[in-house]
Amino acid sequence: MFGYVIRRLIAAIPIALGVSMVCFALVFLAPGDPVQTLLPPDADAETVARLKALYGLDRPIVVQYFDWLWRVAGGDFGRSIANGRPVIEEIQRSLGNTVLLAGLSVLIAFSIAFVLGVIAGRKSGTWLDRLVTGVAVLGVSIPNYWLAIVLVIIFSVEMMILPSSGTAGDTFDPTSWDHIRYLILPVITLSMIPVGIIARTTRSAVSEVMNQEFVVTLRANGLPEWRVLKHAIKNALPPVLAVMGLQFGTLMGGSILVETVYAWPGSGYLLSKAILTRDVPVLQGTILVLAMIFVVTNLAVDLFQSTLDPRIRRG
């Protein structure tokens, strides 16, 4: 097991480096010379060259990359063009809110979808199964930014029982109803896609297990149905937990639209504001951090899953 962990960790290094290269390259995708945006359009060639030398943009690209990587590794992501504050501070301030939102959404999605999936998987082929499958398709087909607007229309505009956007304060207080109120709609919205995906995974995992021979043996031994189900669930759980973990990573990076609609002060909202103001350092830094979280989550899920079930170890 220890050797496997080391191998997986080493295998993740080139991926992480590749991700950092893509993030570094984002700056070069931006139209125009990066220096040009800092200078008046009539600046002469000598001034442009001096400024390029000042920012190190005249050096070979490989040198620039490693220089950037070194600074990023030390936590220096540059400064925001919009407000001049260090990018790392902006990210630190917002990341917790997104972790809270994504974590809660995945947990709620799991508790709903797992029950639905077990029901459907046990009764596969019946109308109950079709109903659950329908709910799952709906979950992955709904554009969540639209659902966000619809929920605001229903609960904020028409019924006026929940706030439409924002938060009650900078630091979240889980004991205060006033703070929780602001979380309800974003969490419901964000959990729609994972509900669909987790329900599907659970359904196929459970129905596969239910067709295995040991289930027949358990039944033949006269075990009550609920205890048969307990065994089936235990066997179906690892893949479902893995999907749940992957969904957490996906939501961390994918909450941008939902956060934008609800003005939820997380990393997605930060990203969306950076896009509007063309704030490339914030864009680059946030994307790098979110992608790295995704890489680490995937790795953690992989290790966790192989602890539960050594058969699925890769490479």
Partner 1 sequence: MSSAVSATPTDPTEMALPRQRGYWGTVGYRLRYDYITLFFLAVLVLIILSAVFAPWLAPFDPYRESIIRRLKPLGYMDQYWLGTDELGRDMLSRLLYGGRITLTMGIVPVIIATLVGGMLGIVAGFAGGVVNMVIMRVMDVFYAFPSVLLAVAISGAMGGGAVNGMIALSLVFIPPLCRVAETATTQVRNLDFVDAARATGAPLRKVLWHHVIGNVLGPILIYASSLVSVAIILASGLSFLGLGVKPPDPDWGLMLNALRQSIYVSPLVCAMPGIAILITSISMNLVSDGLRAAMDVRA
Q: Which residues bind partner 1 (CB under 8 A)?
A: 14-16, 18-19, 21-23, 26-27, 29-31, 137-138, 140-143, 145-147, 149-150, 152-153, 157-158, 249-250, 252-254, 256-257, 260-261, 271-272, 274-276, 278, 280, 283-284, 287, 290-291, 294-295, 298
State the Cα–Cα distance between residues 250 and 291, nearest whole angstrom: 9
* CA 96 – CA 102 distance, rounded (Å): 10
Nearer to partner 1, 152 or 188 (CB): 152
DSSP states along 83-111: T--BHHHHHHHHHHHHHHHHHHHHHHHHH
For partner 1, the closer of residues 202 and 255 by Cβ is 255
Nearest to 199 by CA among 128, 97, 150: 128
Q: Quick one: 151 or 237, whose CB is closer to partner 1?
A: 151
Task: Output 120 or 287, the one with its CB closest to partner 1.
Answer: 287
Q: Minimal distance in Å, beta carbon 297 to partner 1? A: 10
Tokens for 136, please give them: 């799952």
Q: Please compute Rg for the chain using Cα positions.
A: 24
Contact between 201 and 117 under an 8 Å Cβ cutoff? The reply is yes
Report CA 265 to chain centroid distance, whole Å.
15
What's the rounded Cα separation, in Å, for the pair 150 and 2? 49
159 token code pair = 């019924």
Residue 5 beta carbon to partner 1: minimum distance, rounded to whole angstroms: 19
Distance CA 125, CA 117 (A): 13
Which of 215, 203, 187, 295 lies closest to 240 in space, CA to CA? 203
In the complex, the smallest distance separating the C-beta of residue 220 from partner 1, rounded to whole angstroms, is 28
Gap between the Cα atoms of 305 and 113, Å rounded:
20
Nearest approach, Cβ of 226 to partner 1 (angstroms)?
Answer: 31
Q: Which two tokens stand for residue 260?
A: 């934008």
- CB-nearer residue toward partner 1: 229 or 264: 264
The residues pairing with 86 across neighbouring beta strands, listed in sequence order, are 79
Q: Give the residue with the Cβ less far from partner 1, 37 or 176.
A: 37
Rounded least distance, CB 144 to partner 1, Å = 8
CB of 219 to partner 1, least distance (A): 25
Q: Name the residue nearer to partner 1 (CB basis): 5 or 142.
A: 142
Q: How far apart are CA 263 and CA 270, in angstroms?
A: 10
Residue 107 CB, nearest approach to partner 1 (Å): 18
